[in-house]
């Protein structure tokens, strides 16, 4: 793995740790200022403030306990790269303390800003079978 790919893998590990701790201030430090979050069944959150608000809403509703599997990291230019991942684990719903399985496929687009890889775009969708 090349140095830039290692740096991106480290960002993904930091992201996983931060979401598992519901530390969304730490999550936001990983995002670019013009980031876009594209969550399943939601309109895109465009810009850091909208992304922050989306994570705050997530933090009010659920607790995540996930692991990431990095399928690939590819640098496509000096300042751009993507990572394709899957995640699995559990979601605890705060309203009723129910725990449900979490399984997603994710695509991260990274931008190197002032020498640091930041999440520029993030899209995910579930890989769990539809509910009956």
Considering the chain, what percentage of its residues have pLDDT values greater than 70?
Answer: 99
Reported as a pLDDT band with limits 50, 70 and 90, residue 17 is very high
Enumerate the domain spans of the chain: 3-110
**For residue 132, pLDDT beyond 90:** no
| CATH 3.40.50.1220 describes domain 3-110 | no
Answer whether 12's CB lies under 8 Å from 31's CB.
Answer: no
At 40-66, the pLDDT tens digits run 999 999 999 999 999 999 999 999 999
Over its C-alpha atoms, the chain yields an Rg (Å, rounded) of 15
* Of residues 131 and 64, more confidently modeled: 64
pTM of the predicted model as reported, rounded to 2 decimal places:
0.94
Mean pLDDT of 31-37: 98
pLDDT of residue 6: 96
């Amino acid at each position: 793995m090349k140095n830039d790919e290692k740096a991106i893998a480290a960002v993904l590990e930091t992201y996983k740790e931060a979401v598992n701790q519901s530390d969304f201030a730490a999550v936001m430090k990983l995002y670019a200022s013009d980031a876009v979050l594209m969550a399943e069944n939601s309109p895109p959150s465009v810009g850091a403030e909208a992304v922050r608000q989306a994570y705050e809403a997530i933090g009010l509703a659920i607790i995540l306990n996930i692991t990431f599997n990095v399928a690939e990291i590819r640098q496509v230019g000096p300042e751009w790269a993507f990572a394709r991942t899957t995640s699995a684990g559990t979601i605890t719903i705060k309203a009723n303390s129910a725990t449900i399985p979490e399984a997603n496929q994710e695509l991260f687009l990274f931008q190197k800003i002032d020498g640091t890889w930041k999440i520029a775009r993030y899209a995910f969708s579930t890989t769990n079978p539809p509910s009956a």
